[in-house]
Amino acid sequence: MRIWLPPALFAALLFGLSVGMPVLEPLFQWLQPDKQRVVYERESFLFLLQNHLLLVAVSAAVGTFVAVAGGIFATRPSGRDFLPLVSQVASIGQTFPPVAVLALAVPVLGFGEAPILVALILYGLLPILRNTLAGLEGIDPTVREAARGMGMSSGQVLFRAELPLAGRVILAGIRTSVTINIATAAIGSTIGARTLGDPVIAGLVNGNTAYVLQGAILIGLLALTTDSLFEALERTWDRRFSPQVATMSL
């Protein structure tokens, strides 16, 4: 149970600060004596947090689905022809800077939530795709042979043997993807998405350091909450599915 403590603490802090930022007004007043307003009020922090989370969650869900399906397709006999191209694209695509992908989505799709969602999905699925391929290709071929020898159909081999074995690597890919997307969604404020990046951008434009600080702290906490959540998930996975690895890493 102790592994769930950090994500719970970070989440509580994140939620508490999102609701109770106005309580800290005197502190920000002291930091920024020359401004009348020191707490960002254009939108509630809770709404921004919720919207930020929604963008990241939707893009992670769609990205995971597409990437895992693509990875499975490229490693089946019928799709093997596409494997070199898919794995090349997954690695070349990751050299594209996220900001540039975000910027390119705007001329095509316009301002607002649509371009940022598309950019997040496209960029976020690359690490998942790469890890799915690595996970599925890394399975010892004798495992597949054994599963088939037990009379499993190819669908059963996939769902009962291959995916559970590759799952840990895929989960690590989702973690990378979500970490990147939380950061990219924050920058999405510049193209009209309502995220926790809003206070930072507004503060930078108006020279209000207090706004910048509020946005930055919440973004940082969101990232820490999610990252520690994935850490806990990965540890639980290890304990459940590969006890030897778990004891070794302790």
Partner 1 sequence: MPVTKPAFNLMVPNRVVPALGVLALALVWLLDVGSIQPNRIVPGTGHGLLSAVGWLGAGLVTLTLAASILISVLPLRRRYSLLLGVVGLSLAALPLLLDMFAGRHLPEASPYARSTIASGFWCLLFLLSLMLIEILSRLRAGRALQLMLLVLIVGSWLVLLRGDGLASLSLVREFNARPDKFEQALWTHLALAFGAVAVSACLAFVLALKMIRSPAWQRPLLGAVSFLQTIPSLAVFGLLIAPLGALSSAFPLLQSLGIRGIGWAPALLALIAYSLLPMVRNTFVAITEVPENLADAGRGMGMTERQLFFQLKLPLALPVIIEGVRITTIQAIGLTAVAALIGAGGFGGFIFQGLGQAAMDLVLLGALPTIALALLADALFTMLADSLKPTPAAT
**Interaction site with partner 1 (CB under 8 A):** 31, 81-82, 84-85, 88-89, 92, 95-100, 103-104, 106-108, 111, 179, 182-183, 186-187, 190-191, 197, 200-201, 203-204, 209, 212-213, 215-217, 219-220, 223-224, 227
- 1/205 with CB nearer partner 1: 205
3-state secondary structure of 161: helix
Count how many residues are written for the chain: 250
CB of 231 to partner 1, least distance (A): 10
CB contact set of 109 (below 8 Å; sequence gap of 6+)? 115, 118
Q: Are 137 and 75 in contact (CB under 8 A)?
A: yes
CB of 152 to partner 1, least distance (A): 28
CB of 222 to partner 1, least distance (A): 8
CB of 87 to partner 1, least distance (A): 9
CA nearest to 219, candidates 187, 250, 248? 187
- 120/165 with CB nearer partner 1: 120
Q: Are 94 and 36 in contact (CB under 8 A)?
A: no
CB of 13 to partner 1, least distance (A): 14
CA nearest to 196, candidates 178, 184, 207? 184
- 107/155 with CB nearer partner 1: 107
CA nearest to 171, candidates 241, 105, 122? 241
- 60/201 with CB nearer partner 1: 201
Name residue, tokens 């070349």. Answer: 92
3-state secondary structure of 71: helix
Alpha helices in 83-195 (DSSP H): 83-93, 98-109, 113-137, 141-149, 154-156, 163-187
- 67/213 with CB nearer partner 1: 213
CB of 39 to partner 1, least distance (A): 15
Q: How far apart are CA 207 and CA 154, in angstroms?
A: 61
- 117/161 with CB nearer partner 1: 117
